[in-house]
Amino acid sequence: MIELTLPSMTCGHCVQTVTKTVQRIDPTAHVSADLCTHKVRVESQAPRERIVEALAAEGYPAQE
């Protein structure tokens, strides 16, 4: 389980983009998002670093 905080994720369209970005890396990944807290949980076999890099490239950098 990978948990990330994405402050720039603010709407449903953002959630769709984040989900599609993760699933381009791992089509079997399960993504759940909470817009109120800007948190995303990803169940994937892909390395965390790869997911974080892909999300940052799409405009959703993870906050540490």
Give the domain range for residue 51: 2-57
List the CATH number of the domain containing 17: 3.30.70.100
pTM score of the predicted model? 0.93
**pLDDT at res. 20:** 98
For the chain (length 64 residues), average pLDDT per consecutive 10?
96 97 97 97 97 97 89
- Using an 8 Å Cβ cutoff, are 56 and 21 in contact? no
64 found inside a domain: no
**pLDDT at res. 30:** 98
32 found inside a domain: yes
Instruction: Please tell me the total count of domains within the chain.
Output: 1
Angle at 59 between CA 14 and CA 21, to 5 degrees: 60
18 found inside a domain: yes
Partners of 3 in the β-ladder: 41
Separation between Cα atoms, residue 35 and residue 44, nearest integer Å: 20
